Structure 1
Amino acid sequence: MIDFEWYRSFVFIYRHNSVSEAAKSRFMTQPAMSQHLASLEAEIGEPLFVRTARKMIPTERGKLLYTEVAPLVEALEQLSADLKTSSQPSLKWIKIGSAPEFYQEKILPLLPKFGTCSISYFGTAEELLGILEEDKADIIITSKKFLKPGVEYEKLWEEELAIIAPAHWEVPDAVSLKAKERWLTEQTWIAYGPELPIIRRLWRERFKKRPMLSTPYIIPNLHMILRLVTSGAGLSVVPTYLLDTAKEGEVQVVYADLSVRNELFFAYKSKHKYIPEIQQIKKVIREHI
């Protein structure tokens, strides 16, 4: 008789393309995970994966089994979570983490719609992941995906990163990419951090190199950067959603064709995936963003 846990292990291996990573996600030992797969393959009578040095590649039989089994496994996990939460007091407090600028612009106005109390944490992507792993946050919104056991990600949104300048600056109508880079390189810049994290993201995608810029101002706060740009201090790269509340005539987007897209994700621990309050928060944020 096939054990249901064999199916669960098979689904995790399929998603991670790795026995070791699947074992970490299920909080199992690698030998135990391998035994589940071996038992399932023996019961079915043919291999479900082709083993390579780097990853597990599903066979055609494995692909077919996954399409049949994955929805059933997810449904049973959802049922188990519902039964568990229905027998416990409702979770009344949700701990949510985000970059402070995104939180202020997009999350703060939605707090009354969450239907729960909340505790908020702010930080960089690395700091937010640490908060999540320590269970100081139930859900975070992050711009980076770190492969960690027991942590899942869902794409939330794509923000646009654009170069901005003071509105009164005269920007040359450069046609070629090289001419635009030349003019931009000659200007003064305001950076979010010493490694120019946001500027570097745009520069590498558009110019295929690291930026070599004059950056006399390092300010780890996008709202303050926007304010300094409007005062005429220099250029910077910021998410365009910040410009929605900027006063007209204070700032301009420079060379809009150089803008890039940046993905944002929900991240949470697998064990919290079906908590109703977390599902509600994700739903509200998606509807309003």
Structure 2
Amino acid sequence: MTDLGLLATFLEIYRGGSITAAASRRGLTQPAVSGQLAKLEKELGEPLFIRGGRGVTPTPRADELARRVGPPVDQLRSAFDPVAAVEGTVRIGGAAEFMTARGLPALAPLTQRGLRFEVTLGLANDLLNALKTAQLDVVLSSVRPGAGLTATPLTDEEFLLVGPPLLARTVDQELLGEDPARALEHLPLVAYSDELPIIRRYWRSEFGTRPKNATAVVVPDLRAVLAAVIAGAGVSALPRYLVEPALVAGSVELLHQAEIPPLNTLYVVTRGVTTPATGTVSST
């Protein structure tokens, strides 16, 4: 998955038409911005800008990329604007998978301003309870909180049903089109918990029923779920941001093409205007 910082730098270059201007807006040196752009272009396998004497001109690929990533990157960065105003230490909580893949890369630039983070990883309800009791200042939550907390929508997780290639080949494609739940029910599941929260939601949303599949592995970390799926233990429903590199590499395959993939909104949650022990967080 492309790092959020690379995409933020790309957008600054794209919108300003200049590497120099982007460096100033990002608080980086010009060589650092050029290096980030080179890394992104290498990842994509094609140039994004044509260099000229007066700046850079975007390629059609850059236009397409800016249209696709601009809104979510802007939303992710703006959601942390209240945190950017803090001095001292911010105690922030979130799911281990999202914090690793998206949250910490988004927060890292703020450390250059002298901000310090104490990160707690855990389940949404536990973290929200810690926020209510002032043990945390900010929570990135997959659960919309109740009264007394302020929630700002951050991004939507899109869930995909994936499995290893060998298991994918056992699915009757004709039956999949007629009765997908029955076509998939012979496949073992790899789940986040015994309650099958993500998988059950996918089945209910797409197939209108609960999964009848046997569960092969239960492990409370979506990264471990993905690892077990890649290893051939079973199939699972996982966030696109987590599984996309494995899809590109061919380690897993889509088992079902949802017309509108199930979504789950993530929120930045605060207690409103608060004064933590070592900093100040103001809600939007």
With normalisation by structure 1, the TM-score equals 0.60
Residues in 2 aligned to 1:172 and 1:93: alpha-carbon distance in whole angstroms: 54
Residues in 2 aligned to 1:96 and 1:188: alpha-carbon distance in whole angstroms: 36
Deviations 1:76-104 (A, max 9, x none): xxxxxx9xxx9xxx631111111000000
Bigger radius of gyration: 1
Equivalent residue for 1:110? 106
Within-5 A mapping of 1:189-204 = 189-204=189-204
SS in 2 for 1:270: coil
Matched, 1:99 2:111: no
Equivalent residue for 1:161? 159
Equivalent residues, number: 192
Equivalent residue for 1:257? 258
Equivalent residue for 1:173? 173
Equivalent residue for 1:184? 184
Whether the 8 Å CA contact 2:176–2:183 is kept in 1: the answer is no
Bigger shift: 101-110 or 254-263? 254-263
Residues in 1 aligned to 2:274 and 2:177: alpha-carbon distance in whole angstroms: 47
Whether the 8 Å CA contact 1:174–1:180 is kept in 2: the answer is no
Task: Describe the shift of the 1:249–1:154 C-alpha distance in structure 2 as closer, same or farther (beyond 3 A).
Answer: same
Equivalent residue for 2:11? none
Tell me how far 1:177 sits from its aligned partner: 5.5
The one-letter code matched in structure 1 to 2:118 is I
Residues in 1 aligned to 2:194 and 2:255: alpha-carbon distance in whole angstroms: 22
Q: Which runs of 5+ in 2 are unaligned?
A: 1-81
Whether the 8 Å CA contact 2:190–2:225 is kept in 1: the answer is yes
The one-letter code matched in structure 2 to 1:257 is A
Equivalent residue for 1:24? none
Within-5 A mapping of 1:118-267 = 118-148=117-147, 150-168=148-166, 169-170=168-169, 171-174=171-174, 178-246=178-246, 248-257=249-258, 259-267=261-269
Tell me how far 1:214 sits from its aligned partner: 0.3
SS in 2 for 1:204: helix
The one-letter code matched in structure 2 to 1:198 is I
SS in 2 for 1:161: strand
With normalisation by structure 2, the TM-score equals 0.61
SS in 2 for 1:271: coil
Equivalent residue for 2:16? none
Deviations 1:153-183 (A, max 9, x none): 1111111011110033314324666521112
SS in 1 for 2:234: coil
Whether the 8 Å CA contact 1:142–1:264 is kept in 2: the answer is yes
Tell me how far 1:210 sits from its aligned partner: 2.5
The one-letter code matched in structure 2 to 1:118 is F
Deviations 1:36-77 (A, max 9, x none): xxxxxxxxxxxxxxxxxxxxxxxxxxxxxxxxxxxxxxxxxx
Residues in 2 aligned to 1:250 and 1:216: alpha-carbon distance in whole angstroms: 19
Deviations 1:1-20 (A, max 9, x none): xxxxxxxxxxxxxxxxxxxx
Equivalent residue for 2:15? none
Q: CA RMSD in A?
A: 2.8
Q: Percent identity?
A: 28
Task: Describe the shift of the 1:277–1:252 C-alpha distance in structure 2 as closer, same or farther (beyond 3 A).
Answer: farther
| Residue 270 (structure 1) aligned to one of 269, 272, 275 | 272
Deviations 1:118-168 (A, max 9, x none): 0001111111111111212111111111313x2111111111011110033
Tell me how far 1:108 sits from its aligned partner: 2.1
The one-letter code matched in structure 2 to 1:103 is M
Whether the 8 Å CA contact 2:216–2:233 is kept in 1: the answer is no
Equivalent residue for 2:13? none
Residues in 2 aligned to 1:230 and 1:176: alpha-carbon distance in whole angstroms: 22
